[in-house]
A and B are shown apart, each in its own frame.
Chain A
Amino acid sequence: MATLDAAALRNPSSRDIRRRFEAAVTSIAVMFVCCIGAAEAAPTLEYQVKASYIYNLTQFIDWPQHTLGEEFLVCVYGAHRFHDALDTLEGNRVGDRPLTVRYLRDMRLADSCQILFIPASEAPRTLQILRAAPVTGLLTIGETRDFTDRGGIIGLVKIDDKVKFEINEAAAERAGLAISAQLLRLAVKR
């Protein structure tokens, strides 16, 4: 360490670099100060669109009656990017049930959910989450490219900066979900 500093100080350009660095830090600090407080966390358009998809999908899919409880539960497992976008859905009706949003920490709580959203952050564990999730009556929604190929039911994927969706029909069938033909037609991949 000592030898390094000595070498650096011997260099004629060293003091100038320090001065420039200080100037840069000062100007960045100015930017910070003037903008602090103006920062506000809002969900990005992408996640508003994805929240809207989740609500829309409920209108095209029939869940097996015996798997439905008093509420229609939309669950999210793991670190997600919705902020409060999903909360807008709360209280709206799916059939005659009020929609409720739950953020899960433990997959064991997924048993009563009708929809389980698995964010991109959980991609490394997708296989395990899908394995731990109940098979019947649960619509799994993911956002990675290989989600439906890996056994997930609906993947909200970004193509050309637009959010499209893919459907794994076989997985939907296993879950006992009836997907309307209209939705299937709109899917970019089945």
Chain B
Amino acid sequence: MWDANNARHVRNSDPGRWLLSALPLALALCSRGVAAEQAAFDILGTPIEQLMDITVTTASRREETLSQVPAAVHVLTAEDIRRSRATSVPEVLRLVPGVQVAKVDNNKWAVSIRGFHSQIANKLLVLIDGRSIYDPLFSGVFWEAEEVAMKNIDRIEVIRGPGGTLWGANAVNGVINIITKHPRDTQGTQISVGAGNVDRALVNASHSWMPSERAYARVYVRGVERGDGYHPDGDPGDDAQAGRTGFRVDMDLADRSRLMFKGDAYNGSFGQLEATGGSRDINQKGQSLTAQWRSSQPAGTETMAQIWYSRTELKHFALSEQRDTFDVELQRTHALARNQTLVWGIDYRISRDDIRDSALVGVRPSRRQDDLYSLYIQDSIDFPDRGLQLTLGSKFEHNDYSGLEIQPNVRLAWLANPRTTFWGAVSRAVRIPSRLESDLTSAFLQGNRGFDSEVLVAYEAGWRKEVTKTLHVDVSAFYNDYERLRSIEPSGFGNLTFGNEMYGHGSGIELAGTWQVQTDWRLSLSAGLLNLNLKVEPGSADANGAALLEDSDPQRQLVLRSLHDIRPGLEFEATARYVSALPALNVPEYLAFDIGLGWRIREDLALSIAGTNLFDGHHPEQGGTTATEVRRGLFAELQWRH
């Protein structure tokens, strides 16, 4: 094993060779860049009819680095997503500082923010167009089930840190908000077909049209087949087939209010390596419907009303779950005086499940309905002469597991000058108990009805700076104080159960920087440092668990990216990613190189090529008995639009 490993690395890691191959590339990029001249454009003399016809595709810089939002927000734009060449949402999230993404096997991911990294990471809130997709069974997200059509994503907003006040339960360490494109932006027919060795095949077809003068509609269908990951004992059987179809209709109503109606259905089979050898398939199926209405009144009031319903079905050999969720939300925004904005909202959710046991595990009761209702209110006050913006708010939420939860926050942003923003925040957020923590029954581990919410008080600060017109920096730091974290405790008769006996703190720094070196060349950097320090209360038996959790997160991460527009219609990306070791999971540190190429062959035809983990045959990113290793990947996709 050691020899094989070593040989592989000697073969792939000759630094001289890498440097030699990179140098001509670097020089080529430079000469291209210096020679690039912006075509002269006549600002004063171009008539409006011509303006409407000018194509303005550009390597647009991040807008959000300039915004004054008093939180650690990072936005992945449609362009970021396209140029990531990724075929799944978790793969794009690798580009966001402070987000930990690891492939568990070739169809499953572990995604976390600011620590507690695991495939069943439970401190995130993930939304698609306002609909929550985390499963209350374990308070986590089945990323593989949500096979989102990447080309239909408008942007992904990632908020690191507690978003409890406006977003609600589970938004402890972060919120990931996936927003799809308005059908007006995807008019026409788009078909893409891709093939590769890691992601074997991908088909995506979408058609958008205008059923009436004020309505826009889109239908889409997507199918993916993912191949096997790497395992020393041969193909591990972690391949997957998944399909998804859906629609979205947007209507402009007479009074300038807007109505959005969308729905989708998915079905997938996801292979998983077994500890005992062989593999088994996990089945995921689901449907959802969302209706959203927004209206603005001239008096400075905005109203948003939303209803969504979803059904998810999980068929796992250990447990089968069917869940129906119904949610209704109303939000009002008032621009009060000249300098105040008040937001308040109410939310009511019913979640009903039906869980089938296996010989291994079960839950009691097997059916359960949980109600969740909440009220939130938040006021932002501007002090323009001092450049200050103060935000105060709280969420009051009631759930059937831990009762009433209060999640307040206070935030201050200071616009020191038009190019510099400082911000700070103190907030409290809770992660409410999951169904399993409360109701699990198994031979060795039992649920605990008395299991309480995990509590976080977070102290955050950040700094955003436009250093020069071409260099932007966004830094944030946090200190998270956790209480009542989940621990595993003995409950007599040789049995174990869940307790709240762990506590501690997490701290870290995240950095995002972009440098527009030339109009056609951009470099971006994202880096994160993270440290968890956990302890157990006296008398707890889970000191070992605390030590393992501390060592399950990558403490250092770095992503360097070069995005280059070689000529109109031809773009190139090079990425280097470093992730430090996960000692508790026996995962060594790794460095991966990816490249991407986009070529618009004709107005209606584009080719996209992605090479991932180029200088490495395979490496593990996550540990555990079901984990497999990530292979070197090549993927090509042809996109046609009409």
- Inter-chain contact A21/B591, CB cutoff 8 Å: yes
Contacts of B23 in A (CB 8 A): 27, 30
Report whether B335 and A128 are in contact in the complex, using a CB–CB cutoff of 8 Å: yes
Interface-located stretch among B27-35, B97-105, B621-629: B27-35
- Cβ of B372 to closest chain A Cβ, rounded Å: 27
Are B26 and A31 in contact, with the CB atoms below 8 A? yes
* B:35-81 near A, CB below 8 Å: 38-39, 41-44, 46-49, 51-58, 60-61, 63-64, 66-69
The complex places the Cα of A42 from the Cα of B39 at a distance, in Å, of: 12
Say yes or no: B302 contacts A24, CB within 8 Å: no
Contact status B58-A45, CB under 8 Å: yes
CB distance from A158 to the nearest CB of B (A): 7
Q: Which of A4, A20, A45 contacts B56 (CB 8 A)?
A: A45
* A132 / chain B contacts, CB cutoff of 8 Å: 335, 338-339
* One of B14-22, B240-248, B431-439, B497-505 contacting the partner: B14-22
Contact code string A45-79 (vs B, CB < 8 Å = 1, else 0): 11011011101110010000000000000000001
What secondary structure prevails in chain A residues at the interface with B? helix
Which of the segments B265-273, B485-493, B575-583 contacts the partner chain? Answer: B575-583
The contact string, 1 if C-beta is below 8 Å from chain B, for chain A 118-141, is 011111110110111000000000
Residue from B63, B294, B560 in contact with A28 in the complex, judged by beta carbons closer than 8 Å: B560
- Between A24, A46, A57, the greatest number of chain B beta carbons within 10 A of the residue's beta carbon is seen for A24
Q: In the bound complex, do residue B298 and residue A89 qualify as a contact, i.e. CB atoms below 8 Å apart? A: no
Residue on A nearest B186 in the bound complex, by CB: A160
- Given A45-B41, A48-B43, A186-B52, decide whether A128 and B382 contact each other with a Cβ distance below 8 A: yes
Which chain B positions have C-beta within 8 A of A159? 184-185
Q: Establish whether residues B583 and A34, one from each chain, have CB atoms under 8 Å apart when the complex forms.
A: no
Q: In the bound complex, do residue B18 and residue A20 qualify as a contact, i.e. CB atoms below 8 Å apart? A: yes
Flag if A56 contacts B60 (CB, 8 Å): no
Chain B residues near A38: list those with CB within 8 A: 30, 33-34, 517-518
CB <8 Å contact, A35 and B52 = no
- The smallest C-beta distance from A81 to any residue of chain B, in angstroms, reads 7
User: In the complex, are the beta carbons of B581 and A149 less than 8 A apart?
Assistant: no
CB B110 to nearest CB in A, in angstroms, measures 18
Q: Is the beta-carbon distance between A26 and B19 smaller than 8 angstroms? A: yes
Q: Distance in Å from the Cβ of A101 to the closest Cβ of chain B?
A: 12
Chain B residues whose CB sits within 8 angstroms of the CB of A51 once the complex forms: 43
* CB-based contact B470/A79 at 8 Å: no
Query: How distant is the Cα of A138 from the Cα of B294 in the complex, in angstroms?
Result: 25
Query: Could you say which residues of chain A place their CB within 8 Å of the CB of B593?
Result: 24
B184's nearest neighbour on chain A, judged by CB, is A159
Q: How far is the CB of A20 from chain B (nearest CB, A)?
A: 5
The residue on A at minimum CB distance from B182 is: A145
Q: How far is it, in angstroms, between the C-alpha of A87 and the C-alpha of B586 when the chains are bound?
A: 59
Q: Are A13 and B338 interface neighbours, CB within 8 A?
A: no
Q: Looking across the interface, which residue of chain A has its beta carbon closest to that of B578?
A: A21
Q: Is B394 close to A, CB under 8 A?
A: no
Is the CB–CB distance between A162 and B55 below 8 Å? yes
A interface size (C-beta, 8 A): 86
Shortest C-beta distance, B66 to chain A (Å), equals: 4
- Expressed in whole angstroms, the Cα–Cα distance for A39 and B294 within the complex equals 43
Q: Is the CB of B341 within 8 A of A53?
A: no
- CB neighbors of B among A154-174 (8 A): 158-165, 168, 170-171, 174
Interface size class of chain B, counting residues whose CB lies under 8 Å from the partner chain: 35 or more
Asked if residues B13 and A19 are in contact (CB atoms below 8 Å), the reply is: yes
CB-based nearest A residue for B576: A24
Interface centre among B27, B296, B466 (most CB of A within 10 A): B296
- Min CB distance B341 to A, Å, is 5
Q: From residue B302, how far is it (CB to closest CB) to chain A in Å? A: 6
**Interchain CB contact under 8 A, B588 and A44:** no
Contact A20 B15, beta carbon cutoff 8 Å:
yes
Given the contacts A21-B578, A22-B15, A151 and B519 also touching, CB distance less than 8 Å? no
Q: Enumerate chain B residues within 8 angstroms of A128, measured Cβ to Cβ.
A: 300, 335, 339-341, 380, 382
Report yes or no: A79 in contact with B66, Cβ–Cβ below 8 A. yes
Residue of B nearest to A186 (CB): B48
Question: B60–A4 contact, CB under 8 A?
Answer: no
Asked if B510 CB lies within 8 Å of chain A CBs, one says no
Residues of A within 8 A of B382 (CB): 128
| Residue A183, interface by CB 8 Å | yes
| Chain B positions within 8 Å of A39 at CB level | 470, 516-518
Measured in the bound complex, the distance between the Cα atoms of B52 and A183 in whole Å is: 12
Known contacts: A19-B13, A79-B418, A186-B48. The answer to whether A4 contacts B581 by CB under 8 A is yes
Residues of A within 8 A of B580 (CB): 4, 8
Residues on A with C-beta less than 8 A from B519 are 42, 44
Does B187 lie at the interface of the complex (its beta carbon under 8 Å from any beta carbon of A)?
Answer: yes
User: How far is the CB of B293 from the nearest CB of chain A, in Å?
Assistant: 12
Q: A11-B581, A12-B5, A46-B56 are in contact. List 15 more A-B contacts (CB 8 A).
A: A14-B589, A30-B26, A35-B33, A35-B521, A38-B30, A38-B33, A106-B385, A108-B384, A119-B63, A128-B335, A132-B338, A132-B339, A149-B256, A151-B300, A158-B56
21 contacts between A and B (CB under 8 A): A11-B588, A11-B589, A19-B13, A23-B16, A24-B22, A26-B19, A35-B517, A35-B521, A39-B518, A48-B43, A53-B51, A106-B384, A119-B63, A121-B64, A121-B66, A127-B300, A127-B335, A130-B335, A132-B339, A159-B185, A163-B51
Q: Which 10 A-B pairs have the closest CB atoms?
A: A131-B335, A23-B15, A41-B469, A27-B22, A79-B66, A131-B300, A46-B56, A16-B13, A31-B26, A11-B588
